Structure 1
Amino acid sequence: MSSVSSGNSDYGDAPPGYKEAVNSGSFVSPRDSGTISQLDIHAIGYDTNQALTGNVLENIPVYRFGSGELEYISIRLKKNSNSCALVRGPDSSQTPLISTIYRWGPGRRPRMRILSPGTTATVEEAIESDHLVCEVVEVKSRNMISRTQELKTSFGNFEWRYGGRDERKEASEASSLLVLERTDDAASALASNGKVGKRGVPVAQLVRNAELRTQGTSRWMGGNGGRLIMNLGMWTDDKKTTIKDAEAFIVASCILMLKREADRFKDNQIAAVV
């Protein structure tokens, strides 16, 4: 199995300290400040040349905003597969928290495996083995042409979708905005601020604009990273799911959205020249 170091020597220095200018008026309120988590997902994604010349093996580091600490790494083992596993940055043993499995063929949806606490597995086992103690989450598109992805878990039902023009404007004039909402019946009662989004209670946003997207990338690329802002208040008193567990799930599912975006971008670029 390939081993990936979590030290900064392999991933370079943490991204520079972007100024804290994320205006998410429809997403959080001042009283949420104690439950807001911000991370920078450092994903290069694809431009036109990369899309036409083949895949790039990219492990995606995720840094804590403010401290610059390496919080997570999404490890991809094979160049010809998007399947990956999320580990904590400081964990030298690289014990997987969540793996995401992509399968070939029409109608074969991605799956996420949320490993049970205490499960000991390698990154390769988390991706390849069907015999782990874990929760399996099927990732479903709302319909055949929709970019919205639905995820039903034991701790709530969620949807990742792309934000509209008004939402992008509110979120620091984002050129691209991914929005995660919790859509099950319990969500409204658990929300700390009473905010309601398009289809549920807003939980997270990935904001990409000139300041917050991964440095060296542009708005014309697919699958590049940005600032992930999460309101984790609804898990403060949860007896089954900790705030750390919820955060890891949000990070892994956000990276899944970026990988799907990158795949669409590559397919569109290839189709344009065929």
Structure 2
Amino acid sequence: MRLVSGPFFLPGAETARVMANAGARVIMTSRDVAAGEAAAAVIRRQGAKGAVVVKRLDLADLRTVRALAEDVQDSEDRLDRLILNAGIMACPLSYTQQGFEIQMGVNHFGHWLLTSMLLDKMRAQASPSRIVSLSSAAEVIAGGIDFEDMHWRHKKYQTWRAYSQSKLANLLMVKELSQRLRGSQVSAYSIHPGVVATNLARHLFSAQLPPWIIPFMPFIKSVQQGAATSVYAATAAELDGQSGFRIIIGLDVQDKKK
């Protein structure tokens, strides 16, 4: 079984479609179940060979994260792939139900809790399984994580710095998982699929684009190209046992463990 978080965002829906077309049972998660069901219906109409199921997940509320993880633990026999696709970017300052800055809460803490609660199920399987986390090259502008004021309560909010810190947290999570899972059959990978045409940037106006992203605009990838990196990380045989690797755009595999 494959679990893809936030697939009604276009690359996630394409990732779910490819896996379902290959015959996998896919759980698509969405904060908006109606939107998730609409995306799933399209996949089914296109002739998916595997079952496509929609379950609710609001990463801004850890209660729904726990509920989903418990549901999967109780109702699914196995979990072969966990694709941490959902995310938000450059949005105005707000906070999750548990008081985390919204980008750090949704992009990192929600996914960390979901992964932590599902690890035992993945470890218990006889066959190898994988965790794929969508990170971003934007982590290079983070300048580290400000642990003294991670949730921006005592300084002026910088939306891109907050986003980049959440993406750095994604990368560090995978590095930590690769250490904790050493000797097991569970591998973890982080990926940067490139700049993809998606509604992730729905909060932006062109004037708000940071200078570092402008040179990449002519090279925006299609939804299919963006999803290809996730599918590769989830399925490529040559990645077996290479936990901790980071995959940068397309099939360029870079070892970030050093």
The question of a shared fold, defined as TM-score above 0.5 by the shorter chain, is answered with no
Greater share of helix residues, 1 or 2? 2
TM-score, normalized by length of structure 1?
0.23
Q: Which has the higher strand share?
A: 1
Q: TM-score, normalised by structure 2?
A: 0.24
